[in-house]
Amino acid sequence: MEASNIQILTSFFKDILFTHEQKKAFLDLWEECSFKQNELITEAGRIEKYFYVVLDGVQAIYLLNQKGEKVVIGFSYAGSPSGVFDSFIHQKPADTFLEALKPSRMLALSRRDYIGLFENHPAFYRWGYQFFQEILFGRLFREVELLTLSAEERYIAFMQRCPKELKVIPQKYLASYLDMKPETFSRLRASVQY
């Protein structure tokens, strides 16, 4: 595995101390995958096979509402986890799509190997405790923002914290994530400083 990929993985699973042998076995579990722009990584109705860590590119996770419109739930990008996690864990058909909005490279871990990490290395439970806590707080924070901030405030808060690679994806995905019309997003982008 390339040194830069190893660095992304070890920083994602920081605080886990491996012996030399364990680290080699751990790195061997991951498979690098590439996706073209607009390629569907996971389709709604299919079972998610992998837990991903993103090397580069941007991916959106979205579902279709009753009108058939895409409703964006979140994004992933370099250094972040990706995949349709509920489908991955429960092995049930996904309700959401995962799409590469930019050409993407990701490291993929199968479900068997994901479960094996927890079974074979108790340190992963500690990692999982931190990881899921951060995810939960992130989602709660987003819920509060959606429920309490105006469209302009949501736009500013998001643009201030979002990584630069997210700023170049099609506006309609960002607009949907911020629960506003693409026209509103476009107007705010033209008129609001952040």
Instruction: Point out which residues bind other proteins (CB under 8 A).
Output: 38, 40, 43-46, 64, 67-68, 70, 93, 97, 170
Min. distance of Cβ 56 from other proteins in angstroms?
20
Nearer to other proteins, 29 or 44 (CB): 44
**With left for phi above 0 and alpha for psi between -120 and 50, is residue 45 left, alpha or beta?**
left
Min. distance of Cβ 73 from other proteins in angstroms?
14
Nearer to other proteins, 23 or 172 (CB): 172
Nearer to other proteins, 44 or 159 (CB): 44
Min. distance of Cβ 100 from other proteins in angstroms?
12
Helix (H) / strand (E) containing 97:
strand 97-100
Nearer to other proteins, 28 or 95 (CB): 95
DSSP string, 47-93: ---EEEEEEESEEEEEEE-TTS-EEEEEEEETTSEES-HHHHHHT--
Give the length of the chain.
194
Q: 132 phi and psi, to 5 degrees?
A: -75, -30
Nearer to other proteins, 66 or 193 (CB): 66
Min. distance of Cβ 44 from other proteins in angstroms?
4
Q: Cβ distance 79 to 8 under 8 Å?
A: yes
Q: Cβ distance 93 to 48 under 8 Å?
A: no
d(CA 71, CA 20): 44
Min. distance of Cβ 46 from other proteins in angstroms?
6
